[in-house]
């Protein structure tokens, strides 16, 4: 077997392979031998059918399988020995083997561009100091107390106040006085002061004594989850059945043991404080990494493989379509085709591809790798978080060819950590950086790699998160 390589572009290769007739005939002979041992032909014992009869009767299957097997062997050999790194599917052209003739075919695929990496050690970036507000710790303690609280019915005549639970019946009516389907309940428990309902409605409930009825206008926000009521004003009628008062547990060591299995209240607060500190440190680090990556991309220029861009385009479109479907809509509601939307998201897809190429190029240059154990550890963590067994989630990733994307994502994470460790990190006071940058960093941290559509993922898979 001989081959020649042609660079169709900086990110696309074409390889022409010439297979001598002898090797092609040997591939046919191997396929025929396999068929002889596995098929039944009337008049012959299994395994004793002449090769000429096998070839004649199963010609199409034999020639197709022999071609596929031979091509796969050559592809693996060529790519491995020459350190090619396809980032797209491998396209094939050249027909099938013909007996007694040289077999000539070609393959083509996208590859990573050559990237001139900047000097990471010369880079610097600002990162906010992580500071925990004691009010945040107190807020968690308050929620834990509420979770362990007991309730007692209020016997005195008074209206609900913050911290109470109002038990009520309610219904909504349109401007014609007709009951509105979908907005009604009986014996509904409404916590007061927790923002679990519209402010207008809660204010109405807070005017009532137990046993009283009331009504008033309630305006639904323009972004209300049900578009049928978004922006509309309806009349809400409510009957307050009773008021329940929360009896909170004492703040002591016994409380700490019940809530966090901690030996003391101080240890519980310390655990909450440490959790906040880690979360904020991770967020500020993610923000700094995003700024660092943006700086590096501004200093580098390289072509992008079309297949990688198209992959990110499809991911963005699938995400967008998922959100529309959760709102009961489709793309037709926007009056745009998928093709038109693809062009709108293409700039973002190209930017994501640039990040991925830079990080994967860094990983290759610095000889970073992801082991099978690291992949399994990640899947074990997903299984634990989402309460599914490891084998289920591993099988799903395997069957849907998602392990390669996961491995690339983990490799990108390693490359980003490498760049961050090489650069100079300047710690600045908390609150001194643009909060929009932190939000962007937090959002991008949840979208590091390709994923399947939500409805295609098993329950609990991280590929359903957004």
Write out pLDDT tens, residues 331-343.
777 778 888 899 9
Contacts of 370 (CB under 8 A, 6+ apart): 407, 410, 411, 414
- Cα separation, 415 vs 366, in Å, equals 8
Contacts of 94 (CB under 8 A, 6+ apart): 103, 104, 105, 106
Burial 271-282 (b: 16+ CB within 10 A, else e): bbbeebeeebee
For range 243-261, the mean pLDDT: 91
At the topology level of CATH, where does 150-247 sit? Chitinase A; domain 3 (3.10.50)
Residue 24 pLDDT greater than 50, yes or no: yes
Residue 452 pLDDT greater than 60, yes or no: no
DSSP state of 111: B
* pLDDT confidence bin for 330, thresholds 50/70/90: confident
Q: Strand, coil or helix: what is 123?
A: coil
pTM of the entire predicted model: 0.70
CATH entry 3.30.499.10 includes domain 281-464 = no
* Domain range annotation of the chain: 2-110, 150-247, 281-464
- Mean of per-residue pLDDT scores for the chain: 87
Q: Tally Cβ neighbours within 10 Å of residue 424.
A: 10
Write out pLDDT tens, residues 162-205.
989 999 999 999 988 999 888 899 999 999 998 889 999 999 99
What pLDDT shows up at residue 435? 59
Closest CA to 101 of 76, 67, 73, 77: 67
* pLDDT confidence bin for 87, thresholds 50/70/90: confident
Helix axes 265-299, 134-147, angle to 10 degrees: 120
At the topology level of CATH, where does 2-110 sit? Alpha-Beta Plaits (3.30.70)
- Cα separation, 53 vs 162, in Å, equals 88
Write out pLDDT tens, residues 113-134.
999 999 999 999 999 999 999 9
């Amino acid at each position: 077997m001989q081959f020649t390589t042609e660079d169709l572009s900086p990110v696309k290769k074409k390889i022409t392979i010439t297979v001598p007739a002898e090797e092609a005939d040997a591939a046919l002979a191997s396929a025929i031998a396999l068929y002889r041992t596995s098929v039944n032909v009337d008049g012959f014992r299994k395994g004793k059918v002449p090769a000429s009869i096998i070839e004649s009767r199963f010609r199409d299957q034999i020639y197709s399988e022999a071609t596929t097997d031979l091509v796969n062997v050559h592809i693996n050999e060529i790519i491995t020995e020459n350190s090619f790194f396809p980032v797209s599917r491998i396209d094939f052209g050249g027909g099938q083997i013909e007996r007694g003739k040289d077999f000539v075919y070609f393959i083509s695929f996208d590859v990573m561009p050559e990237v001139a990496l900047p000097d990471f050690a010369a880079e610097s970036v600002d990162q906010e100091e992580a500071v925990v507000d004691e009010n945040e710790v107190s807020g968690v303690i308050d929620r834990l107390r509420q979770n362990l609280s007991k309730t007692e019915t209020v016997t005195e005549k008074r209206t609900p106040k913050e911290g109470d639970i109002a038990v009520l019946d309610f219904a909504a009516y349109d401007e014609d006085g007709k009951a509105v389907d979908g907005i009604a309940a009986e014996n509904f428990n409404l916590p007061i002061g927790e923002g679990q309902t519209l402010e207008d409605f809660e204010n109405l409930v807070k005017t009532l004594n137990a046993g009283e009825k009331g009504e008033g206008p309630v305006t639904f926000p323009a972004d209300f989850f049900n578009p049928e009521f978004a922006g509309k004003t309806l009349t809400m009628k409510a009957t307050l059945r009773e008021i329940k008062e929360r009896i909170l547990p004492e703040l002591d060591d016994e409380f700490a043991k019940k809530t966090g299995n901690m030996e003391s209240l101080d240890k519980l607060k310390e655990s909450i404080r440490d959790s906040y500190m880690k979360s904020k440190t991770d967020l500020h680090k993610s923000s700094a990494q995003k700024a660092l990556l943006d700086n590096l991309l501004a200093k580098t220029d390289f072509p992008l493989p079309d297949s990688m861009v198209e992959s990110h385009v499809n991911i963005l479109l699938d995400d967008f379509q998922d959100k529309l479907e959760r709102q009961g809509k489709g793309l037709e509601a926007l009056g745009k085709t998928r093709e038109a939307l693809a062009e709108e998201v293409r700039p973002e897809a190209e930017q994501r591809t640039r990040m991925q190429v830079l990080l994967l190029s860094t990983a290759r240059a610095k000889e970073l790798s992801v082991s099978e154990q690291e992949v399994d550890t990640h899947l074990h963590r997903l299984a634990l978080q989402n309460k599914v067994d490891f084998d289920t989630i591993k099988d799903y990733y395997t069957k849907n060819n998602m392990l390669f994307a996961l491995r690339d994502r983990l490799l990108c994470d390693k490359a980003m950590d490498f760049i961050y460790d090489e650069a100079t990190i300047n710690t600045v006071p908390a609150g001194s950086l643009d909060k929009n940058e932190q939000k962007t960093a937090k959002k991008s941290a949840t979208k590091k790699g390709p994923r399947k559509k939500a409805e295609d993922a098993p329950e609990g898979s991280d590929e359903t998160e957004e």
